[in-house]
Amino acid sequence: MKIKVFQFEIHFGAVEENIQKVEELFNGASLENIDTVVLPEMWTTGYDLENIDKHATENLHPVFDAMAKLAKRHDVNIVAGSVANNKGKGVLNTAFVVDRQGKFVHEYSKIHLVPMLNEPNFLIGGENSADVFEIDGEKMGVVICYDLRFPELFRDLSLEGAKVIYVVAEWPIERTEHWLTLLKARAIENQCYVVASNTIGTQPTGTTFAGNSLIVNPFGEVLAQATSDEEVAIEGDLNLEYIKGIRKDIPIFDSRKKEFYKFL
């Protein structure tokens, strides 16, 4: 399974401009033999939270429609990052997935809102846990940025059979080492691939983002890594059969002792 991850700078609060930018990235990229393309968190708006009501999609539209067209045109699945999304109760931070035929596959709204970026003042948290979905017959999961700090979420997905977990993010540069360490740790402890798309640049809020989009294999080895300050696409060839070997050699799932884990 071949993956391409887009890392780019988001135009603050400029929805149409960002959609056009993503369309240009797709049209200018080499997507031959690519199975899935991954976008970052809140890529239509950035963290223009004070105006997020104005910028939000209505149940993912019209951004979903634009992604569906790109998926069909380029014959790729799209893990379409996340967008500000109004579903009637308030604005959510919602990730979604579209298949090669442009059909809706999955959505997940961020349950862990970031105190450090004032998300709880402007957004509401998702009301549903992260669940697995299937792309090309393989089970996967997607989480959003701050979710990376909560290992329970990743373990739930891996126990449900996820072989790949996507992390879409706008992760700040001052916590770059946390980003890199936690992505590798989540891959190692769940023996799955972790594919992460982050953004770059400094927004008017003063936050500079860390870049360093990453593809990590189940042994914790980095297959591809972006820089901290360049718009770039990274690629990785994910051998999903490799997971079986890792889980056989280091059988952590068979070794679990659930009866001793108090939080369960």
Please tell me which residue in 9, 41, 107, 119 is annotated as part of the active site. Answer: 41
DSSP H or E run through 243: helix 242-249
Please tell me which residue in 21, 145, 163, 184 is annotated as part of the active site. Answer: 145
Phi, psi of 260 (to 5 degrees): -105, 0
pLDDT at 119 (0 to 100): 94
pLDDT bin (cut points 50, 70, 90) of residue 263 is confident
Q: Is 192 considered catalytic here?
A: no
pLDDT bin (cut points 50, 70, 90) of residue 67 is very high
Total structural domains within the chain: 1
CA–CA gap between residue 88 and residue 86 (Å, rounded): 6
pLDDT at 103 (0 to 100): 98
Q: What angle do CA 21, 25, 28 make, to 5 degrees?
A: 130
pLDDT at 262 (0 to 100): 87
Q: Span 173-196, mean pLDDT?
A: 98
Q: Is 41 considered catalytic here?
A: yes
Q: Span 140-169, mean pLDDT?
A: 98
Tokens for 69, please give them.
């067209």
Please tell me which residue in 110, 139, 163, 184 is annotated as part of the active site. Answer: 110
CATH of the domain at 67: 3.60.110.10
Whether the pTM exceeds 0.85: the reply is: yes
Nearest to 136 by CA among 250, 2, 42: 2
* Domain of residue 23, residue span: 2-260
Q: Is 110 considered catalytic here?
A: yes
